[in-house]
Structure 1
Amino acid sequence: MHVRIGKKITFTALAAITAAGVGLGQPVAAAPAPRLDSLQDRVNAIQATKAVVGVQAQSIGPGGSRYATAGKSDRETGEAVEAGEAYRTGSTTKTFVATVVLQLVGEGKLSLDDTVERWLPGVVKGNGNDGSKITIRQLLQHTSGIFNYTFDFPPLTDKKAFEENRFTTWTGEQLVAIAMRHRPEFPPGSKWKYSNTNYTLAGMIIEKITGRPWYQEVTRRIIQPLGLRNTSAPYDQPFIIAPHMRGYSAFPTPENPDPPVEDAIDTSDWNPSGGGAAGAMVTTTADQNRFFIALVKGELLPPAQLAEMKTTVRAEELEVVWPGARYGLGLLQASLTCGGSYWGHPGDVAGYATRNGITDDGARSVVVETTGDGTNSDLSTLRAQNALIDKELCAAPSK
């Protein structure tokens, strides 16, 4: 639901130490770094970082589709991760929601330059918030300045609060009301800052225009046409029905950014209405790859709207994790070490972390899912996830 940046969780620089080998009477020499040439090697490298319970990845390219897994799917039973298990995908939901909004734009039912006030009169107001000065484009691009409600959201505070609130049903209006207790971060359009509240409002606008909740429109317009059989956009169903990875979190804080994985609780079952249009969806690596491939190839949006989606602004606060990070309308753009860039959208919700990437032509796509908190203070889990994506998208053409 959030991308683990800001007040909730902070990052510092990565520090890595390579073991040294010693020969009799010889100077100490650094051991050669291990070669990480396969998808399985990259998944193992993620699993080897702290506070990771399980990992799965699927990579699609000219040579076909490949899977790799590591770790535990369920700590209690000891079952290993299996390829194709479902998971909560958090903020990757935003790309689905942005796609529906842009479909409505293409159908002439709204404009990206419409104000929030036009469609949701009186919803964004108070404490300096003014929906008449915020456009739908600014919601989708995170340039609205609206406070991120998840920084003041009971279920994400700590383990006790999560346990007490995990089955509570939340409405979009309630989530926006949390944000309205706070002043805006900046005047609309003047900066970029990630806020889940933006997509809560986008979901409410979808319902105002179509007469159906955002999750029904995502299902009707994307999930069903693409045949994403293992993807769902649940409203308040707290249990994942399909075989799935269990999520685990010890709820890191700025004061304790790396609690031991042994302290993590099972976060798999919770009412996803707390994430709503900002992060409620459940999916699999195969379905998510299918979605992103269809999106960049123009199967879901007319050319004009896809171009709008890919029109980006600098996302400075994300650059510590994604070099060259820029953000469009529900799409993250990040640099590749082999030149150029890729598209995707990360997703984090308690106990689950989704990372993905797809080349602009849709020829290569990769999704990696990690359970547990990962290492937050030294960035090692995040960088191992990004290294996997970079390696797969920069792979040499198959012979």
Structure 2
Amino acid sequence: MLVQGVVALVTAAMTAVVPASPSRGGDLQKSVDGVAAIGAMAEVRSGAQVWRGSSGVAELGTSRKVPVDGRFRAGSITKTFVSTVVLQLVAEGRIRLDDSVERWLPGVVPNGENITVRQLLNHTSGLYDYKNTLPMPPSEDFYALRYRTWTASEQIERALANPPVFDKPGSQYDYSNTNYLLIGEIIKKVTGRTYSDEIERRIIRPLGLHGTTMPRTSTRIPGPHPHGYVPKDGGQLDWTEMNPTLFGAGGDIISTTHDLNRFFSALLGGQLLPARLLQAMKTPGIEDGTYGLGLSWHDTACHIRVYGNDGDALAYQAYSFSTADTRRQATVAVTPHLPTNPDATVNTFLDKAFCS
């Protein structure tokens, strides 16, 4: 690990921040108020200036405000943490991106000798997504599985019972959560510790991400948090508590807007990875793609490219992006009023954060 850089980052993070100007803060508040969700919270950074705000309610049927420092399930942003761990192992010479899956998990994946660690990380393996084998709302089977503990091996087995979505690994992009379940298993094989242990040891503790936790089988969200919901019988069912092994290494992390901004500042600022591996992380898996090794990017309305990731954890959705120089960052988390998709209104908020 690049300990010296991490220590420097934590020291810098302890310095005072400057509130955003009243006019900018007002514009950002209006924009977050426009996010289509039950509740939303955000942190926007521009140099030393920081704005934090929230909108909506923390729980349906109440007037409680969404806590600006609230915790939430960050979904697939977990993948960026997992990928960072793998790339640190690459930097340490303990694994190679072009190692085959068969090298580390012999006999687990058909055609595993022709699928690489890199292809798992950038979703070009072609492996079927295990989530497509699971019931989802409004299926009654979905609600019955709320507290079930899943193992990575059984989810991988469910996925591999289906043929790959394309024949030649590396030739196409197809997002599959199965890839990161396998990456989690490879991390355990390489280090002797779970991906959760490694994320805590290598990222959460060194960066002082005090609001970020790896929940394992814990069904609750610790600390202040808004309630999240899934649709049921034409209404909204409180789904705040659930067994996060459903997501596993592909999406189980719990965090805050502040912590995610700090993490992406450290990552994109070069404190967690050597430059060559950070560049590999930002390299698309296919030509003209927008997803690299656990990292995605898009261009804002004002043509500023921002890097980060977004995540969907059923009752929570999160979006965290930063300019390449980390001078501007924005993280927003929402509790969506499903089936309404908040993406378009969140993108409007991100444009306001990065372009004004």
TM-score, normalised relative to structure 2: 0.89
1:170 counterpart = 2:170: no
Structure 1 residue aligned with 2:100: 115
Structure 1 residue aligned with 2:294: 330
1:191 counterpart = 2:172: yes
- Identify the structure with the greater helix proportion: 2
1:40 counterpart = 2:4: no
Structure 2 stretches lacking a partner, 5+ long: 1-24
1:364 counterpart = 2:315: no
Q: Number of matched residues?
A: 332
Structure 2 residue aligned with 1:33: none
Choose which of 308, 312, 316 in structure 2 pairs with 1:348.
Answer: 312
Change (3 A) 1:314 1:73: farther
Choose which of 79, 82, 89 in structure 2 pairs with 1:94.
Answer: 79
Structure 1 residue aligned with 2:264: 292
Counterpart of 1:293 in structure 2: which amino acid? S
SS at match of 1:326: coil
Structure 2 residue aligned with 1:133: 114
Q: Deviations over 1:263-304 (max 9, x none)?
A: 111111111111110000000000011001110001111111
SS at match of 2:34: helix
- Measure how far apart 1:159 and its partner are: 5.5
Question: How far apart, CA to CA, are the structure 2 residues paired with 1:325 and 1:205?
Answer: 25
- Measure how far apart 1:162 and its partner are: 3.1
Counterpart of 1:65 in structure 2: which amino acid? V
Cα RMSD (Å): 1.9
- Measure how far apart 1:74 and its partner are: 1.3
Structure 2 residue aligned with 1:161: 141
Query: Radius of gyration: which is bigger?
Result: 1
Q: % of aligned pairs identical?
A: 40
Change (3 A) 1:73 1:153: same
Structure 2 residue aligned with 1:53: 38
Choose which of 391, 394, 399 in structure 1 pairs with 2:352.
Answer: 391
Question: How far apart, CA to CA, are the structure 1 residues paired with 2:34 and 2:63?
Answer: 20
Change (3 A) 1:331 1:58: same
Counterpart of 2:60 in structure 1: which amino acid? R
- Measure how far apart 1:101 and its partner are: 0.3
Question: How far apart, CA to CA, are the structure 2 residues paired with 1:120 and 1:313?
Answer: 22
SS at match of 2:158: helix
SS at match of 2:346: helix
Structure 2 residue aligned with 1:208: 189
Question: How far apart, CA to CA, are the structure 2 residues paired with 1:162 and 1:61?
Answer: 42
Structure 1 residue aligned with 2:128: 147
Structure 1 residue aligned with 2:227: 246
Question: How far apart, CA to CA, are the structure 1 residues paired with 2:160 and 2:137?
Answer: 19
Structure 2 residue aligned with 1:229: 210
SS at match of 2:58: strand
Structure 1 stretches lacking a partner, 5+ long: 1-35, 252-258, 316-323
Map 1:16-27 onto structure 2 (within 5 A). none
